[in-house]
């Protein structure tokens, strides 16, 4: 499973002019399932996201997690994270999980996040979304988690 984390001071997802998910301070989590991923991989990724110390402490060091700062999570599906750009000019997306598996794994990740974290907002799987964010720092961290 691939994730791209962006530390934000605010973020929201808009679909057809309607805001469907938004947070203040926290993490925008763009996530893509791959064909061999399982719910266990998603749970391992979520554990890393919740504990990753990328928020500043009093000394200005990245020493706090999203949980430590009581920040929100905005989880958005994005199959384009699996883009293959090795040849030609048009990316291929065969490294992304098929839509049914991708949606099931995304839904399971969101369900697990809601069980472990008090503030979780989402986009909508497969929708044409506009994501608005103010990247704080900027801090952007790529993560990849595979079955071990």
Catalytic residue positions?
A: 78-80
For 114, other C-beta atoms within 10 Å of its C-beta total: 15
126's CB contacts (< 8 A; 6+ apart) are 77, 99, 103
What are the φ and ψ backbone dihedral angles of 19, each rounded to 5 degrees?
A: -75, 120
Residue 66 vs residues 12, 37, 47, 117: alpha-carbon distances, Å: 17, 24, 11, 9
Token pair, residue 3, equals 């994730």
For 112, which DSSP code?
A: H
Element holding 99 (H helix, E strand):
helix 99-116
């Amino acid at each position: 499973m691939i994730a791209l984390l962006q530390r934000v001071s605010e973020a929201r997802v808009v679909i057809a002019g309607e805001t469907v998910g938004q947070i203040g301070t926290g993490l925008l989590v763009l996530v893509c399932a791959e064909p061999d991923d399982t719910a266990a991989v998603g749970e391992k990724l979520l554990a890393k996201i919740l504990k990753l110390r990328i928020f500043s402490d009093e000394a200005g060091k990245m020493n706090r997690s999203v949980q430590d700062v009581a920040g929100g999570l905005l989880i958005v599906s994005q199959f384009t994270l699996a883009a293959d750009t090795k040849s030609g000019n048009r990316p291929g997306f065969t490294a992304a999980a098929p839509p049914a598996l991708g949606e099931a794994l995304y839904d399971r990740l969101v369900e697990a996040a809601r069980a472990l974290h008090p503030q979780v907002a989402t986009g909508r799987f497969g929708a044409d979304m506009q994501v608005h964010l103010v990247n704080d720092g900027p801090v952007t961290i790529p993560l990849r988690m595979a079955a071990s």
